[in-house]
Structure 1
Amino acid sequence: MANLSVNINKIATLRNSRGGNNPDLVKVALDCERFGAQGITVHPRPDERHIRYQDVFDLKAVIATEFNIEGNCSEQKFVDLVLSNKPAQVTLVPDSEGQLTSNHGWDTIKHQDYLKEMVSVFKNAGIRVSIFVDPVTEMIEAAATTGTDRIELYTEAYAHHYQQDKAAAIAPYVKAAHKAVELGLGLNAGHDLDLNNLKYFNEQIPSLLEVSIGHALIADALYLGLEKTIQMYLQQLSN
């Protein structure tokens, strides 16, 4: 069964919209764990528009499941933040400053040497590394040369085309997953996965280790309640 890591960025966005500490980000993270989530994901950005750098320290002090910090390693402040907290996993995402949300994977061919350097920095600190990539065989092959432990497949294209033709939508991801396994890479996935498309994705990619889900899960929780929503997502990942 693939693990569910709940991205709590949207909780931080809601908190920040009014100031203060309501909702309490740390309490929500602990509740997500209590409701069955196997991990907590945060994606701090330089403007701290949702996750603040202090949040990372506060969460690291209490989280009992896997802690995953996503972000752009070209920002030294991000690198320092990760090294100071030593999460279970760091996911390297090629975001530009001010970007609304992640919208593409790394060009692991063009940035191969740079990624080798950054992967080494984090692995030497005992942190598992995952690189955010599109489902393109060449990019996965190049990612494997960097020394990364895992890749995270960017699943927006799958989610976008799922309703029209789910078999065609999943095909490049199945091919990518086979290549990752062949190269000895662990496999994560994330972006726009939800209660409609998650089960099929999980069924077609049995090598899947972890999904990171935030926006859709938190939106569903507004209607269903957080505990029930997490249980429903876990059901989609059960074999």
Structure 2
Amino acid sequence: MDMEASGNIVELSGIHKRYILKHALTGIDLEIKKGRIVGLLGPNGSGKSTLLKILAGLIHPTSGTVRIDGRAPDANRKKQIAYLPEIDHLYGWMTVDETLRFIAGFYDDWQADKADELLATMNLDGRQKVRNLSKGLRARLKLIVALSRSVPLVLLDEPFSGIDPSSRAKIIRSIVSEFRTGEQTIILSTHSVSESEPMFDDVMFLQQGSVRLFDSADNLRSDYGCSLENIWEKVYA
């Protein structure tokens, strides 16, 4: 089936990823529809970051096929994906404003007006040096970088790490308000399940490199009769 016609932004078939001492992914078969916010959940070592890197085209699976919007990943497809890694990739000697201008120069799809709005929403001072920002403020800046691009697929790996709970709730509301249903898909890996739960359309639970559960958030809550956070506890007890 033509994936573009089927409405899938992502299709994975038989994805394995082996490292020398570890089998990170053990046969992922997966379809993700366009225009959804997908929660990628699982304990450390379950394969979340590896899966996101494969989708971003940063690493290749040992076996299996990857299709993004109907095509195999290539240089052009990478340009249509915004990826926020868990590691800090910002230059400390730049100011916040300089960082955003620097990154804007790499992408034709950069939305300066959206970056300015997010800068205000996340209470960041554009004149501050990145090296002087707290871990939480640097996490906010990384989110601005990812969310300011007009691309079909946004991949966020632990974007709320270091951000306090009250600020997380505000940022999540901002992401949801900016999200344009039907035009963009967001796949978000997080341990902050309780705060993030309201934003998820679909949820995937990974365990030891394979998909343990994948369904709409509403169906999972209905089937288990509890919140996603409580489902987490049941799955990984």
Higher RCO (C-alpha 8 Å, min separation 6): 2
TM-score normalized by the length of structure 2: 0.41
Higher-Rg structure is 2
More helix by share: 1
